[in-house]
Amino acid sequence: MASIVSITGTISGVVNEQYFGGFENDEKKLARLSKNKSIGRQGLTITNVATRPPPPSVTTSTPAHHDQLEGLVKAENLPTKLAAWRSIRRERWEGELVIEGEIPMWLKGTYLRNGPGMWHVGDYNFRHLFDGYATLVRLYFEDGRLIAGHRQIESEAYKAARKNNKICYREFSEVPKPDNFLSYVGELANLFSGASLTDNANTGVIMLGDGRVVCLTETIKGSIQINPDTLETIGRFEYSDKWGGLIHSAHPIVTSTDFWTLLPDLIRPGYMVARMAAGTNERKVVGRVDCRGGPAPGWVHSFPVTDHYVIVPEMPLRYCAQNLLKAEPTPLYKFEWHPESKAFMHVMCKASGKIVASVEIPLYVTFHFINAYEEKDEDGRVRAVIADCCEHNADTTILDKLRLQNLRSFAGQDVLPDARVGRFRIPLDGTPHGTLEAALDPDEHGRGMDMCSINPAYLGKQYRYAYACGAQRPCNFPNTLTKIDLVKKKAKNWCDPGAIPSEPFFVARPGATEEDDGVVISMISDKNGEGYALMLDGSTFEEIARAKFPYGLPYGLHGCWVPKD
């Protein structure tokens, strides 16, 4: 088991001063607005402004800069103004934003969001949302002010593309184009060793229990430590254990003391459940789950935990070695759909590593689990585990719907596959089957559901509220923010017509006693090619503040909160 073989300061000082030239009049104007507390959109008061105005919109022409990517900054010829699916035009920027409304004074810290922000190399456009080179966005809150910035993660894949003006590592749907047959053979050899797999950490960002901040993706080598204050890339996060492996869950479970992850095993289909203590780099395997279906483990992009258990999903959307070898992607990319292999959920004891339940459940497709908790009887004994996820009605077409061509060519038709809050009930009494049902009427959130967050104090515990992206139909992508009430089975929805919001991230108010007492943060790409940071009240789900970016930001995936010391 020692070798698990698997698939798959400020930044502004760095930015050239010419970006800020010629804006003296705008600066005076903004200062005057701040002094007069002018009334902004929706009656929100503009309370703070940039002391130094931001650069012009990224849709305008700007001078070249030595830190920009020469071949990577060519704008794609896209038919829409929406910045969500366009590459970021600059490698980095930082500045203070104008705020409309009021940011709570208690909100002190840094929100980091990671995601694919560069979808082309030279004249070549990437095919899939998940391919893009990682862009970190930072929102720093203190004393009601907001400083924003972004920066590319300096992965080896990104640096090689910048140097060679071409793709050099295998991304989600992209394969380097070999110069000849021998280079193709060599590239295949590098695939089996893991050398050609990307380290493009474009999926998530987490803060470990000891304060280190790490960006992640599906490949283990794509674990990269960054500085949350400057967004500088520190270097690869090296695991000091013997377990090796090529891939892991892109979403580990992180607390102040633990880091839990799943390591899929392709040779003997199954999963290793591993724990890493805070302050270390050593993963220790707690136990193993053997797959009950086949021919390979199911995709484990994420998984849930409870106070005492790790829940290991075995989805019939399974890893596929043959698809990984292909130069051109299939509709399911690195996976295959095997409904005949059935679907299962396994429950492992955190303390002993023993499997306490392994049940068959209805077929399902999910990227993201929301939360899980233990269901107890009147005597306090655990009788079942409840696990909630963003479930796509066992419809695998959602993967191909995320091709950039589909996202950029929306013509008004309702083409987003339906999704729901899927609720699994996994009995612990030896019953061989579990259940999967909708936790509330999917029409409450427009039959769209993904990119979720909860109050972190309720991780692994019975909870009531979740925040996610829903849908206002017709659409081709989740386009609303929604607050789910799992007790009343209702949803509140926020929408800016024509805009694309990123994951709503909940930050609890210090000392709060109510589960939804806090602020929800999201970044919005609006229909005019611009964007803004949005703050909603976690309880009422009403807008309390927004801050416009000086440029349109690409769509991002997942974030984390780094509190101020």
State pLDDT tens for residues 366-421. Answer: 999 999 999 999 999 999 999 999 999 999 999 999 999 999 999 999 999 999 99
pLDDT band at 323 (very low <50, low <70, confident <90, very high): confident
Residue 325's pLDDT is 78
8-17, 381-390, 526-535: lowest mean pLDDT where? Answer: 8-17
**4 or 217: whose pLDDT is higher?**
217
Whole-angstrom Cα distance, residue 468 to residue 482? 5
pLDDT band at 488 (very low <50, low <70, confident <90, very high): very high
The pLDDT > 70 percentage for the chain reads 83
Phi, psi at 43, each rounded to 5°: 75, 10
Tokens of 328: 């051109």
CA separation, residue 93 to residues 307, 398, 504 (Å): 41, 33, 23
DSSP 8-class letter at 246: S
Q: What is the mean pLDDT of residues 283-292?
A: 98
Region at 27 (left for phi over 0; alpha for psi -120 to 50; beta for the rest) = alpha
Q: Determine contact, residues 277/239, Cβ cutoff 8 Å.
A: no
Strand order through the sheet with 450-453: 450-453, 465-470, 480-485, 490-494
Rounded to a whole number of angstroms, the CA Rg of the chain reads: 23
Residue 39's pLDDT is 34
Average pLDDT for the chain: 87
368 is in an annotated binding site: yes
DSSP 8-class letter at 90: S
Q: Which amino acid is at 522?
A: S
Strand order through the sheet with 420-427: 366-376, 382-391, 420-427, 435-438
128 is in an annotated binding site: no
558 is in an annotated binding site: yes
Q: Determine contact, residues 166/194, Cβ cutoff 8 Å.
A: no
Cα 29 to its chain centre, rounded Å, is 37
Q: Determine contact, residues 102/21, Cβ cutoff 8 Å.
A: no
Residues recorded for the chain: 565
Tokens of 364: 């399902």
Phi, psi at 220, each rounded to 5°: -65, -35
Q: Is the pLDDT of residue 61 over 70?
A: no
Token match 């990104």: residue?
158
Residue 91's pLDDT is 85
**HSE-CB for 414 with a 13 A CA cutoff:** 8
CA separation, residue 52 to residues 5, 28, 77, 96, 525 (Å): 52, 10, 32, 7, 23
Whole-angstrom Cα distance, residue 3 to residue 498? 48
Q: Determine contact, residues 225/245, Cβ cutoff 8 Å.
A: no
Q: Is the pLDDT of residue 255 over 70?
A: yes
Q: Determine contact, residues 479/391, Cβ cutoff 8 Å.
A: no
Alpha helices in 123-237 (DSSP H): 156-164, 181-193
Q: Is 429 helix (H, G, I), strand (E, B) or coil?
A: coil
Whole-angstrom Cα distance, residue 30 to residue 18? 20
List the helix and strand counts (H, then E) for the chain: 6, 36
Give the pLDDT confidence of 434-476 residue by residue, as tens digits: 999 999 999 999 999 999 999 999 999 999 999 999 999 999 9
